[in-house]
Amino acid sequence: MKLIYSLLFIFCGLAITNAQKTYTVQGTVQDFHDKTMLENAVVKIGEFSTKTDKTGKFSFKQIPAGQYKLIAKHPDCNDYTENVGVTKDVHLAITLEHHSNEIQGVTIHGNHKNKGSVILRTLDKAEIERNSTENLGNLLSKISGVSALKTGNNITKPVIRGLYGSRISIVNNGVKMAEQEWGVEHAPNIDVNDFEHIDVVKGASALKYGNEGVGGVVILEPANLPKKDTVMGNVRLSGISNGRGGEIGANVLKAWENQWFVKAGGSYRKTGDEYVPHHTLQNTGMEFNSFNFSFGKRSFLQGFDVSYSGTNQEFGIYKGAHLSSPEDFYNAVNFGQPYFLDNFSYDIDHPKQEVEHHIAKLTAYRRFADFGKLTFQYSFQLNRRKEYDIRRGELNELPSMDLRLITHSASLVHLLERSNWSLESGISVGYQDNYPNPATKARRLIPDYYRYDAGAFSVFKYKFNSKLNAEAAVRYDFSRYDSYKYYDSDKWEANYAAIFPQFFVQESGSRTLTRPILDYHNLSANLGLDYKPTQDYEFRLNLSRAERTPNPAELFSDGLHHSAAIMEEGNLNVKKETIYNINLSLAGHFDVMRGLHLEINPYLMYSDSFVNQVPSSVLNTNRGVFPVWTYQQIKARMIGVDADAELSILNNLKWKSGFSILRGADLSNNEPLILMMPAKLRNSIELTLNKPKNFYIALENENTFKQNRFPIRNLPVTFIKDGVEYNETVDFSSTPAAYTLFNASIGANLFKNLNFNFRINNLFNTEYREYLNRLRYYMYEPGRNFVVTLKYNF
């Protein structure tokens, strides 16, 4: 009995002792940037929870000894997490990164907040997943004011309000792409499945990415990293009827609670010859693969990441666009007579492109309580482009163009944030080495050159009150080309010898070797206002002046660009381009049905030094008959309007509409600008249901109007038929007829982790030609296409 009493006494004593081991956990929650105490912050420790008072203080009484996870939350802040050991009374000073006054870019159709004067559009994760087999150009063309410049049906480049190529910057996970973007048929080397959302930006914030994005910046961002110990990813499989192809891809991410991470992903896509209504087009298949890998550690105060991404693409160029006789060229353009049809194949023959692009990046950042945030980034890019012509004999296996472009870039950016303003400033340097391989035994379209860049920028954002924000930015850039280029001696003497005698190096037969060294000093500025008088209305204004260095093609191109099916002639007299922009946005929300959102964006662009490329003649060569496109510098003006509407008819039924119209004028020659996007009207209606989970069914309609404003650039051609010489005119100017397309899609989660999407493009198999397709003279656009995608998430 004594033993039993003794044991009870010991256990009770232990219980009493443990019950007495409780402590106080208290502290403060403040803004990291300006030390402002944050009221109503939620602080949790284990199962206990409280809020901070007006002075930012919190307190927990009688917390038992032990290990706890402490979490602090506040609206518009990143959550704070810390493991706390309670063995005595604890006092904590918690700092949160407070974003409530940060002036960000405006986003529409996405999940980002509408703050600031930047004109921005977003494609969110759902839109990307529904169109996962599309390339970047086709995907972005779903946004009002954005279209696609095509070379055939596989190669597309985004066009933002009439501007494309070097006037559009593409930022891939923080790295501005350098990929011979001067070529109209040089498609971005991007796998859209690597990204969570895609933003199209205009405004002050765009200047930090460089001065060349005068038309806008396309920013591709991966998903945010989870703040917990987890493994997640997905595997997807797609079938594509048009081209009888498919795609497979996977992504995986491992994150640790200590904020380390590693992730990898890749995809492979293959299609054969494309189908247009009633026919297939020979040599229009493609093959694409990509891989990405990254690792690092990201915390609030500091972090780094190392990443690599690479793509490899092979595109067939429609054989019917490369014709050997002037008569065939005349018949194809004037009468739409197609050549090289049917005989479906997966083979990719000449003419074709082979392109690989590699990016390696190192990023590191550190936050200082009073000084702000410093971010350093270095990136390396390698672009290798081979373009194959239809050549004879032993030359047939050699590419007619083999370009290797190496780019080194580094930047240091400082961000200082306070309660009602922020200042972001940075410096950057860049070096490029372009090498056209002489083993092609063909005249080099683009010469050897080195390019050196240095720049500095500053973006200031200020919040006057809850209704009015302002931002201003300025950027200076220096660029130098140091190139070696051969000219035909007669062309050099006629056009440049008297103007640039310092570039002469030596004569070599009928050719003249020169060394052009060209320097450019560019100053760009931007001013924006965002006024929101009520929760339902918003007004944004953006004014900008941007200067752009001419790209290598505008200065140096000389010869056959076979994959574009044109001859190109650069102009060494081209000066830097200056563009002025006015962008206005009016947005409102109205109580119609379950809610109506309207936004109208008028804009004006003017330049007195706009670099314009136009067809000027036809050249009959031993490699075929091709139009000659030359560069000229003109005064130009573009005026346009983008409008979007979204109506919630029911809680689960939405109608969306978008309209764009653009008028471009060549003021120097008193004629319309070439290749301006025709007016477009899009409508869609979508029904969503909770069962099955994430079920949706949608119908889309796209009306493209005939472009009636175009310059007359008809070209003379001579050919002999049945012994008779004909002098004809090739109608290189007339635009295609208007057309209407319908698309349909349906999708749902079949099981907990399995997602299904089915889409039909060109539902009624409409036969049409696209004005912004440089090969529209020779081919129709793709016919009906069924795309089914299964995605397993884990």
How far, in Å, CA of 791 to CA of 179, rounded?
31
Per-residue pLDDT band at 107 (split at 50, 70, 90): very low
Q: Is residue 111 part of a domain?
A: no
Distance (Å, whole) CA 451 – CA 477: 13
* CB-neighbour burial class of residue 312 (10 A; exposed 0-12, middle 13-18, buried 19+): middle
Same domain, 221 and 201: no
Q: If pLDDT is split at 50, 70 and 90, which confidence band does 207 have? A: confident
pLDDT at 370 over 70: yes
Query: Could you read off the pLDDT of 168-177 as tens digits, one per residue?
Result: 999 999 999 9
**Residue 178's pLDDT is what?**
93
**Phi-psi group of 40: left, alpha or beta (phi > 0 → left; psi -120 to 50 → alpha; rest → beta):** left
The residues facing 239 across adjacent strands are 246, 788
Q: What is the pLDDT of residues 20-69, one digit of tens each?
A: 588 999 999 988 777 788 888 999 998 899 999 989 999 998 899 888 98
Q: Which two tokens stand for residue 205?
A: 């914030």
Residue 323 vs residue 469, higher pLDDT: 469
pLDDT at 135 over 60: yes
The answer on 531 and 412 residing in a single domain is: yes
Confidence check: pLDDT of 698 > 80: yes
**Per-residue pLDDT, 722:** 85
The answer, yes or no, to whether residue 238 has pLDDT greater than 90, is yes
Check pLDDT > 70 for residue 98.
Answer: no
44 and 135, same domain (yes or no):
no
What does each C-alpha distance from 351 to 313, 332, 342 come to in angstroms? 14, 18, 17
pLDDT higher than 80, residue 104: no
Is 694 part of a structural domain of the chain? Answer: yes
List strand residue ranges (DSSP E) for 301-400, in order: 302-316, 352-368, 372-388
Mean pLDDT of the chain: 89
Closest by Cα among 284, 290, 200, 184 to 583? 200
Coil, strand or helix at 393: helix
Own/partner long-range contacts of 253-259 (Cβ < 8 Å, ≥24 apart): 253/225, 253/226, 254/230, 255/225, 255/226, 255/227, 255/228, 255/229, 255/230, 255/231, 256/229, 257/227, 257/228, 257/229, 258/297, 259/227, 259/297, 259/298, 259/299, 259/303
Count of CB atoms situated within 10 Å of the CB of 248: 14
- Residue 385 forms part of a structural domain: yes
Residues 167 and 280 placed together within one structural domain of the fold: no
| Continuous segment of H or E residues that includes residue 327 | helix 326-335
Distance CA 250, CA 233 (A): 7
Written as six digits, the tokens of 772 are 């912004």
439 shares its domain with 482: yes
The pLDDT of residue 544 is: 93
pLDDT for 589 equals: 95
Neighbour count for residue 258 (Cβ, 10 Å): 10
Within-domain flag for 108: no
Contact yes or no for 596/645 (Cβ under 8 A): yes
Measured between alpha carbons, how far is 744 from 767 in angstroms, rounded to an integer?
18
Do residues 377 and 406 both lie within one domain? yes
What pLDDT score was predicted for residue 622? 63
Q: Is residue 564 part of a domain?
A: yes
Q: What value does the mean pLDDT take over residues 667-691?
A: 95
184, 216, 248 - which closes a domain? 216
**Do 661 and 743 lie in a common domain?**
yes
Name the domain count of the chain.
3
Question: How many angstroms separate the CA atoms of 197 and 668, rounded?
Answer: 40
Residue 104 lies in a domain: no
Taking the C-alpha atoms of residue 253 and residue 251, their distance in angstroms, rounded to an integer, is 7
* Residue-range definition of the domain harbouring residue 451: 217-225+232-285+295-793
Together in a domain, 190 and 274: no
In percent, the amount of the chain with pLDDT more than 70 equals 93
What are 672's strand-pairing partners?
A: 665
13 — pLDDT class (breaks 50, 70, 90) = very low
Tell me, yes or no, whether 157 lies in a domain: yes
Residues whose CB is less than 8 angstroms from the CB of residue 449 and which lie 6 or more positions away in sequence, other chains included: 432, 434, 481, 482, 483, 484, 552, 556
Q: What is the pLDDT of residues 249-289, one digit of tens each?
A: 999 999 998 899 999 999 999 999 999 999 999 999 999 99
90-104, 131-145, 305-319, 656-670: range with lowest mean pLDDT = 90-104
Instruction: Give yes or no for residue 639 having a pLDDT over 50.
Output: yes
Residue 377 belongs to domain with CATH number: 2.40.170.20
Residue 76 is classified by DSSP as T
Residue 210 lies in a domain: yes
Residue 377 and residue 174 in contact, taking contact as beta carbons nearer than 8 Å: yes
* Predicted TM-score (pTM) of this structure: 0.87
Indicate whether 327 pLDDT > 90.
Answer: no
> Domain containing 161 — which CATH number?
2.170.130.10
pLDDT given at position 449: 97
Report whether pLDDT(74) > 50: yes
- Do residues 240 and 246 make contact, with C-beta atoms less than 8 angstroms apart? yes
Identify which of 186, 156, 181 has the alpha carbon closest to the alpha carbon of residue 168.
181
17 pLDDT band, cuts 50/70/90, is very low
Q: 260 and 375: one domain?
A: yes
Distance CA 392, CA 318 (A): 19
pLDDT in tens, 717-775: 888 888 888 888 888 889 999 999 999 999 999 888 999 999 999 999 999 999 999 88
Residue 338 pLDDT exceeds 80: no
For 733-738, which contacts have Cβ atoms below 8 Å and span 24 or more sequence positions? Answer: 734/710, 735/678, 735/706, 735/707, 735/708, 735/710, 735/771, 736/706, 736/768, 736/769, 736/770, 736/771, 736/776, 737/706, 737/768, 737/769, 738/678, 738/703, 738/704, 738/705, 738/706
Pair 361, 405 in one domain = yes
Is the pLDDT at 115 greater than 90, yes or no? no
**Highest mean pLDDT out of 49-53, 299-303, 425-429:** 425-429
**Residue 99 reports pLDDT greater than 60:** no
Stretch 364-371: mean pLDDT: 91
In this predicted structure, the answer to whether residue 5 has a pLDDT above a threshold of 80 is no
Print burial letters for 628-643: b (CB count within 10 Å at least 16), e (below 16).
bbbbbbbebbbbbbbb
- What does the alpha-carbon distance between residue 272 and residue 256 come to, in Å, rounded to a whole number? 43
Per residue in 601-630, pLDDT (tens digit) is 999 999 999 999 988 877 776 666 777 889
Q: Please state which of the ranges 105-114, 393-402, 443-452, 753-762 shows the lowest mean pLDDT.
A: 105-114
How many Å apart are CA 633 and CA 627, to the nearest integer?
20
Is 167 found in the same domain as 46? no
Would you state the structure tokens that stand for residue 86, as one six-digit string?
Answer: 């309670």
Tokens of 154: 């596989």
Residues 200 and 274 in one domain: no
Q: Which two tokens stand for residue 176?
A: 């501005």
Higher-pLDDT residue of 325 and 193 is 193
CATH, residue 11: 2.60.40.10
Length of the chain: 794
Angstrom distance (rounded) from CA 272 to CA 242: 8
